[in-house]
Amino acid sequence: MKLLKPDAKCRYLTDVTPATVKALGCKAVLIDADNTSSHDLTTDPLPGTEDWVRSMKEAGLKVLLLSNAKTERAKVLADRYAIPVVGMAAKPFPFGYFRAALRLRTRPQKSVMLGDQLFTDILGANLAGCKSIWVEPYEEDKRDWLFLIKRRLEQLVSRRWD
């Protein structure tokens, strides 16, 4: 259960401030794509996300898009934010997080992952030694019934923290 517990929880990615990131001792922010920084299964940024990325960078933080999406699709979104990308990250395995840390020239311990899925984003961050902030999915998922079961399991797991 400890590996599934995030360091913090927010409603939206845009609720996370540079001060929040720095209070966690981090210099780098890794963001998920689908339902975290973009509409599900698209390259369309969520409202306010482009300004949010800009404010993070202006605060001296490094930002990278870390996504399980195909690299080509993830790169389209990352280019809109003018940030580097690690696509096909294979979350929750830690390899993508390590690639992100190398790309940003930082250590995983100095990175925070912001994502909407406990079993990929948060678990992977914890396995890699990153900090993690769990954000609620922006909209209802457009995926299969198995994905809906995962969302229900996330709700059950998170109730144990309250």
pLDDT classification of 67: cutoffs 50, 70, 90: very high
The reported pLDDT for the residue numbered 143 is: 67
Burial-class residue 92 by CB neighbours within 10 Å (0-12, 13-18, 19+): buried
The reported pLDDT for the residue numbered 162 is: 64
Average pLDDT over residues 67-89: 97
64, two tokens: 């990278």
Angle 74-80-81 from CA coordinates, rounded to 5°: 90
pLDDT classification of 24: cutoffs 50, 70, 90: very high
On whether the CB atoms of residues 1 and 127 are closer than 8 A, the answer is no
Which residue matches tokens 């280019």?
79
Provide, rounded to the nearest whole percent, the portion of the chain with pLDDT above 90.
Answer: 79
Report pLDDT digits (tens) over 84-123: 999 999 999 999 999 999 999 999 999 999 999 999 999 9
pLDDT classification of 141: cutoffs 50, 70, 90: low
In the three-class reduction of DSSP (H, G, I as helix; E, B as strand; rest coil), residue 84 is classed as coil
Torsion angle of alpha carbons 15, 20, 25, 31, nearest 10°?
10
pTM to 2 decimals? 0.92
